[in-house]
């Protein structure tokens, strides 16, 4: 459930909600406001994606190192 409620998803839903709500209230956003919201949301989602990638890379590197150490230990003990 934690993965489902990621910051990227919540931010995107909030931006869509903002645009939809303003339109339903009869206050549609002009082209410049829509571009600003889109740019901000894409920038924040992209930055969060880079953070997620960094965490995954670190986790993968640590896992690969642990597996490599296990392989080295196994080959030494089998001799």
Residue pLDDT, tens place only, 31-70: 999 999 999 999 999 998 898 889 889 988 888 888 887 7
Q: How far is CA 73 from CA 38, 67, 70, 77, in A?
A: 52, 10, 5, 6
Cα 48 to Cα 34: distance, rounded to the nearest angstrom? 21
Which tens digit of pLDDT belongs to each residue from 8-30? 889 999 999 999 999 999 999 99
Residue 46's pLDDT is what? 92
> Which CA distances in Å does 9 have to 23, 25, 42?
21, 24, 12
Q: Provide φ and ψ at 78, rounded to 5°.
A: -80, -10
Which pLDDT score, from 0 to 100, does residue 60 have? 87
pLDDT at 74: 61
């Amino acid at each position: 459930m934690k993965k489902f409620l990621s910051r990227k998803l919540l931010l995107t839903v909030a931006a869509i909600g903002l645009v939809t709500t303003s339109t339903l209230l009869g206050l549609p956003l002009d082209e410049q406001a829509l571009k600003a919201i889109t740019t901000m949301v894409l920038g924040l989602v992209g930055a969060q994606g880079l953070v997620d990638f960094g965490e995954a890379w670190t986790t993968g590197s640590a896992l690969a190192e642990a597996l490599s150490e296990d392989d080295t230990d196994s080959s030494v003990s089998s001799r």
